Structure formats: C-alpha cells, structure tokens
Amino acid sequence: MSRLYAHSGKDIVIREELTRFTLTNVSRMALGEKYFSESGTDRSSSRVKLEELKEMVDEWFLLGGVFNIGDWIPWLGFLDLQGYVKRMKALHKKFDRFHHDVIADHKAKREADKDNFVAKDMVDVVLQLADDPHLEVKLSSDGVKGLLQDPIAGGTDTSAMTVEWAISELLKQPQLLRKATEELDRVIGRDRWVEEDDIPNLPYIGAIAKETMRVHPASTLLAPHFSIEDCKVAGYDIPKGTTVLVNTWSIGRDPRYWEEPKSFYQRGF
C-alpha cells in the first residue's frame, strides 16, 4: 500500500489501490509470487500486465452475473444476441494462457529440484495431487486451472470491496476509527506490520471486519446450492433437486436477530 503515500495531497480512487493490493497478495499466497508485471512499459516481460489481469478479473465478475438470453430461451442461444458468449470464450483463452504459464513455471522448478522439492504454495500442492496415482478422482488439466482460478477471481474483488466499505464506515464514525487505531498502537505498535498471529489479539479490529461483512456482504446471494435429498428447512419442504439461493443480505439485516440492523453498530464494545 506504499503507493498511497506517493499520492499524498491528491485525490485517489481507493478501490483501484485496494484491488491492486489484494490481487498482489492473493497471487503471492496462491501462486507463490506475482505472475504479472506492474510496469505498463515493460515490453520485455512475457507476463501479463497488472492492469490487464485486473481487467480480466473484472470481466469475469461481469460475465458471471449478466442476464444471457440464451440461458433462458435455449433455441436462441446459438445467435449469441448480446455477444456474451463470444466475450466468455475470449476471456477463457486469456485465463487459460495465464494459468498455463503459471503451471509450466512451477513444473520447471519442481523438475530442476526434484530430489529435494518441497511444496511451497497452492500450485505445488494441486500439481502433487494431480500426479498422485492413489487419488480416487483424477485432476485434469482444466481441473487444476479451475482450482487456481478460484482464489484469484473470488478473493480479489470481494476483499477489496469489503475493505473499502470498512473504510467508508469508519470515516463516518471517527470514534470507531480512534478505538481501532488505539488497539493497533497498543498491540502492534508502529514499527512493524500486522501479522496473522496477531489477529486473536485484535478483537476490536475483528469486530469491525465482521460488522462490515454483515452490513455489506461481498455477495448478496451465495453461490447456488443444490438439494441432494428431500429435506425441511425452517418449516419449508425442500424437494430433492431444488436449486437453493441463500440471501446473506437479508440475513444480516433481519430485525428479529439484530439490534439496529441497518446501522454499522458497535456491538459488544
């Protein structure tokens, strides 16, 4: 986030900086390193440019939620009246090329140090599973790429959006920001970054994160679930084969369970 200091005194778009930060973080955690170039003028780099990868993730979210006529009127599907199918195929090629390069790089590193190789990131683990002869369900090349796609596409925009909402709510209630800052200064100090092991010692920061996700869930509706057998939920009969959509937005704002459900509320502190 050091880029924010470079913009001191100027207007900046927080979402863009948060997306850059989360995309870099997720890439390092899942892929082991940044598989993109941050320099738009680095023509010698064979890696995808950061802005291009951000555009790919944005396109993925857009196309994942559009209303495609062919999905509802199948006999019109071949016409691709809105051009979405064409865009999906183009995006698939871009992501496929990106994941191919990541996998090829990891395979090359593993081959170069095959006698002492130790899995260091998610890609290494997934590739080991794909090569495991005892695995009951074999992972195909597309399956490996799909598993790598999940944290990049699912963890970038959602994380940036949640942090952006948290910042927005804290700016509107300075007293909460002061208490959060006091906790950070007391537990962490100002000479180092917050680390994962510090999280249990930061209950107020944790409460802010939870309240942000309650008031501003990253996804209003969870990914569709599928009922594999007849069941009863909250008094309702759910037949086998039913597609179930869970509305997290309404759960977090249900006045039967939350005091002041529409407010960013200082619960328990």
Position 111 scores a pLDDT of: 85
DSSP state of 75: G
Distance set, CA 245 to CA 159, 199, 224, 238 (Å): 22, 32, 5, 12
The pLDDT of residue 131: 83
Q: Which residues of the chain have pLDDT under 70?
A: 1-9, 38-47, 267-269
| 165 within 8 A of 216, measured Cβ to Cβ | yes
The CATH code for residues 3-172 is: 1.10.630.10
In contact, 48 and 37? CB cutoff 8 Å: yes
What pLDDT does residue 138 have? 83
Average pLDDT, the chain: 86
Residue 43's pLDDT is what? 45
Query: What confidence score (pLDDT) does residue 268 get?
Result: 57
Q: What pLDDT does residue 14 have?
A: 85
Per-residue model confidence as pLDDT tens digits over 27-66: 888 888 877 776 555 544 456 777 888 888 889 888 888 8
The pLDDT assigned to 39 comes to 58
The domain ranges of the chain are 3-172
